[in-house]
Amino acid sequence: MDADDEGCPKSVLGKAQLLLSAFAAGAYHLRLTELSRRSGVPKASAYRLAQELVQWGLLERVGDGYQLGVKVFELGQRVPIAATLRRVSRPLLADLFATTRTTIHLAVLDGGHVLYIEKVAGEANIHSHSEVGGRLPATCTATGKVLLALSADGESGLQRCHQTGVMRPTSRSAASVMALRGHLAEVRRRGFAVEVEETVVGYASVAVPVMGSDGSAFAAVSATSPASRLAVGRLVPQLQGTAAGIARAVERQVTTESSTADRIPPVASRTTR
């Protein structure tokens, strides 16, 4: 280990994970110096590892910097929860968009952030602050508040916020974890979350949970529009109908896959003699 590697993970895999995670904040193209700064991996080590990641297809060298490689996308499509959710939810989300003409998101909780699994938006409704595969602070998004309040991992997400502090993209975002807990109590009471100009000035969102059989939320569906046009009373029942449809579709898919797996004989019994 290099002398300047002190404080970094000792394993190559750990450092590689830090390099790939440097792109999580919305960066598409990073020069070596910025890649090193964002990841915390010393420049010399970052350079050597980046060359290997390029060979593996996990990074691509473009001009004087790096960007995520297509291999990352290919592997991401095979993550079970993401693949299943996207496959079964896309038609339902498209129908919801056609009915509401708002930007529709499907998200899951990832620590103190929400990770967007799917997004459906018309040409006039595309918001640059959200994208499939992107993350935003859970503390200021409607989907994030739903998941912090109603998912099995919500409390651990709140503990992460205690450690890192509450991010405030706008002056209307929750100012502290204590204030956020008050918001979450209201979400539990109502069964949905609303944020008004907490993520982007001029826009608002309403979100509902996608509930699993264990009674906790494993995803959230939201509708985003200009704040002046967010019709919460009309949108909540439509979102709830879509969320229920996604939950049923996921359960059917999981049941089908389990049944199929049960019918496949062990490898040993299929060995020819």
pLDDT score at 194? 96
Output the pLDDT for position 1. Answer: 44
Q: Which range is least confidently modeled, 121-130, 164-173, 194-203, 223-232?
A: 121-130
- Dihedral angle of Cα 225, 228, 230, 231, to the nearest 10 degrees: -150
Tell me the residue type at 132.
V
Element (H, E) at 126: none
Residue 164 domain boundaries: 77-259
At residue 46, φ and ψ (nearest 5 deg) are: -60, -40
Residue finishing a domain among 21, 49, 74: 74
Q: CA triplet 93, 173, 188: central angle to 5 degrees?
A: 60
Residues 15 and 138 in one domain: no
Q: Share the mean pLDDT of the chain.
A: 83
Separation CA 120–CA 102 (nearest Å): 9
Per-residue pLDDT of 51-74, as tens digits, reads 999 998 889 998 889 988 877 766
On whether residue 270 sits in a domain, the answer given is: no
Q: What pTM, to 2 d.p., does this model score? A: 0.69
Residue 269 pLDDT > 50:
no
- Which token pair is 178? 């204590």
In this structure, the answer to whether residues 37 and 163 fall within a common structural domain is no
Residues 57 and 189 in one domain: no
How many structural domains compose the chain? 2
Per residue in 17-62, pLDDT (tens digit) is: 888 888 865 567 899 999 998 888 999 999 999 999 999 888 999 8
Distances in Å between the Cα of 26 and the Cα atoms of 21, 115, 134, 176 are: 10, 12, 7, 24
Q: Is residue 268 part of a domain?
A: no
The number of helix segments (H) and strand segments (E) in the chain equals 9, 9
The model's confidence at residue 267, banded by pLDDT at 50, 70 and 90, is very low
Please, is 101 exposed, middle or buried when counting C-beta atoms within 10 Å of its C-beta (0-12, 13-18, 19+)? middle
* 244 pLDDT tier (thresholds 50, 70, 90): very high
Q: Give the C-alpha distances (Å, rounded to integers) separating 243 from 32, 34, 157, 223.
A: 42, 40, 22, 12
Q: What is the pLDDT of residues 175-187, one digit of tens each?
A: 788 888 899 999 9
- Which CATH number belongs to the domain containing residue 132 in this structure? 3.30.450.40
| Position 134 pLDDT exceeds 90 | no
- Alpha-carbon gap, residue 231 to 196, rounded angstroms: 12
Question: pLDDT band at 5, cuts 50/70/90?
Answer: low
| 265, part of any domain | no
28 shares its domain with 143 = no
Residues 101 and 194 in one domain: yes
